[in-house]
Structure 1
């Protein structure tokens, strides 16, 4: 029966991919009528194509979620259902952003790789179809059964795509000599700032999923501790979003305070989450100690040695943090039952 269900899901995924391609091609062809446009630039076709592909990916995720997870929140108390639904909304936005930014980055690469190419409306429609098919399949598959480790991988991938696009369109080519905040300046600063805002949303959603897994593992008796874990991840996401909402040129003290706060809250979330997990497993202990030592070494190489700029230290710190998160969610996936667990409590902190 399980094999039959998996085959049915694969068939649905193929149909979702085909429908996404058809929709993307049709809408793209209609939207790109008129004078032939370049791939990128103020009047480039990449921007509308990215919007089309992102929208179709969001719709594909919603359709898949309704198909495969309908009724999942019915036995849950209201507070637990609200958390689950809010996470689904956040993920819908995130999938649209990931696919759209991925298309924008692909447009930059294609412009450099095939210089002088100006596709017709039909050519642009086909590009939109391919981008929509890839994004639609990706989002539809996630809706079947998104796990916490998949979400962590999505966050890692989104940060990578968004940062690379911001680098490619940076107003100051020497931004790396200072810090990553320089990517948020200029006409294309929205790319980096928007990446931080959506990444903040994803951080909060990762925390929600971690809380879900911890509840499946520990049950209602540890709801208060789990609530603290979720709150710390949500606070980390909020601080990161503020960094994007308030670029350094708009309000330097607020921007820097939010950036430092995001790092401090992320460290606190990591410590409290690891402490809440039973054990803790040896893999997580080794990873935590090892990455902590590497972070100290990175700070020493930046401050007294001055081997690299603040941007280099920021990249190392974020990279090590994401590696720790990946290790943690993989360990959590091994320990957590893969079944929904409705809470028996009518309120989050009540009886």
Structure 2
């Protein structure tokens, strides 16, 4: 009877915490809606605006939503927490009457939070731009009056703040793997669709980052931020808390590989081919080498992971080697080789984060 009563109390507490969180998210979204509308009104007043393109509703909305997304993420991380931590404990996950220990604010924790917040902001920015382009195609030559544009911008910013705030309060390795995947996919596709040369694919994937255009900026920024995200979450994917001494070196090797992959991926975006061919190629090749080491070092570091995960890693490595052979023999063009290798690396890393998150939950 006592056990049943305790479970019932925990369910009631969890339900109250969830409702409290939703209430806070509504307040944050409502405040962002009002601020977004007030900020957009001077820009829209007395004008009829296009849906997409320069000076359009979607352009202003995307920029505002991007900024609000970063702020909402930081606010969400501070919600019910004693310090600015990317993966801190929340009272909603603790038994009634229990309080988390106060955590000191460290430079690495602030860096991690800002990087992940920027990723949320860029996803919001590109998402609203993409939606604006789709709506512009559906409503050809349509314009939006100032009052309607103000209302739409406010609602879009409010929805962004609401969604990002909830994402921040519930973020963990499982959810972060989805954020990383969505961020990379949205960024690369946006760069492809906005590329000034429609035949960029006839050269190589890195051609997307070689022009002084929005497409190039989007491509390179996506790689840089995705790399920083990977480096930032490396410590949390290889948490050493409570780990046996003999297991620590194995996890540290995996952590070093993850950090290297993140830093080198950022290097690919930081040094486009037209800036430094040597640094660009060294970053790309080094990332693949670090990935190969990670695939073969992860098994002793995660002995409890399912066997299918390790098989998936070996198969992924084998496919990368195969497409490299196809490229050398002239069967594949460089763009196809880079796309296949990139998808495989990001796919494996996403699964790795989910497996690590599942292990941490257990």
Residues 98/280 of structure 1: CA separation in 2 closer, same or farther (3 Å cut): same
> Given the alignment, which residue of 223, 229, 234 partners 1:207?
234
Partner of 1:3: 15
The 1:293–1:267 alpha-carbon spacing in structure 2 relative to 1, beyond 3 Å, is: closer
Alignment of 1:46-85 (within 5 A): 46-71=58-83, 72=88, 75=101, 81-85=106-110
Whether the 8 Å CA contact 2:181–2:346 is kept in 1: the answer is yes
CA contact (8 A) 2:29 2:162 kept: yes
CA contact (8 A) 1:69 1:144 kept: no
Q: Do the aligned residues in 2 keep the contact of 1:38 with 1:45 (CA within 8 Å)?
A: yes
TM-score normalised according to structure 1 size: 0.84
Report whether the alignment pairs 1:170 with 2:170: no
How many Å apart are 1:75 and its aligned residue?
Answer: 4.9
Displacement of 1:282 in angstroms is 1.2
> How far apart are 1:332 and its partner, in Å?
1.9
Deviation, structure 1 residue 305: 5.6
Asked whether 1:322 is paired with 2:334, we answer no
Alignment correspondent of 1:111: 136
1:303 corresponding residue in structure 2: 328
Q: Once the 2 structures are TM-superposed, how far is the Cα of residue 173 of structure 1 from its aligned partner?
A: 0.3
Deviation per residue, 1:211-246 (Å, 9 max, x gap): 3xx324626775554444333322222222222222
For residue 166 of structure 1, report the CA deviation from its aligned partner.
Answer: 0.8
Residue 270 of structure 2 corresponds to residue 245 of structure 1: yes
Q: Does 1:136 align with 2:148?
A: no
- CA 266–75 in structure 1, closer or farther in 2 if over 3 Å, else same: farther
C-alpha contact (below 8 Å) 2:234/2:259 kept by paired residues: yes
**Structure number with bigger Rg:** 2
CA distance change for structure 1 residues 239 and 33 in 2, over 3 Å: closer, same or farther? farther
Kindly report which structure 2 residues correspond to 1:309-348, keeping only aligned pairs within 5 A, or say none. 309-337=333-361
CA contact (8 A) 1:108 1:168 kept: no
1:287–1:327: 8 Å Cα contact kept in structure 2? no
Question: 1:32·1:121 contact (CA, 8 Å) conserved in 2?
Answer: yes
Q: Are 1:171 and 1:185, in contact at CA under 8 Å, matched by a contact in 2?
A: no
Aligned equivalents of 2:167, 2:309: Cα separation in 1: 26
Cα distance in structure 1, aligned partners of 2:292 and 2:102: 31
Structure 2, gaps ≥5 residues long: 1-12, 90-99
User: Which of 73, 90, 115 is matched with 2:115 structurally?
Assistant: 90
CA deviation string 1:243-290 (max 9, x = no partner) = 222222222222222222233233334443443123443131222233
Are 1:43 and 2:68 an aligned pair?
no
**How far off its partner does 1:161 sit?**
0.8
- 1:266 maps to which of 291, 297, 308: 291
Aligned to 2:209: 184
Which residue is equivalent to 1:194? 221
Deviates more, 1:286-295 or 1:55-64: 286-295
Deviation at 1:158, TM superposition (A): 0.8
Question: Relative to 1, partners in 2 of residues 1:45 and 1:3: Cα closer, same or farther, differing over 3 Å?
Answer: closer
More deviation, 224-233/83-92? 224-233
Structure 1 residues 148 and 29: CA distance shift in structure 2, 3 A: same
Normalising by structure 2, report the TM-score.
0.82
The answer on whether the counterparts of 2:57 and 2:153 sit within 8 Å (CA) in structure 1 is no
Seen in structure 2, the aligned counterparts of structure 1 residues 300 and 267 have a Cα distance that, compared at 3 Å, is same
1:193–1:245: 8 Å Cα contact kept in structure 2? yes
Pick closer, same or farther for the CA change 1:45–1:329 going to 2, 3 Å: same
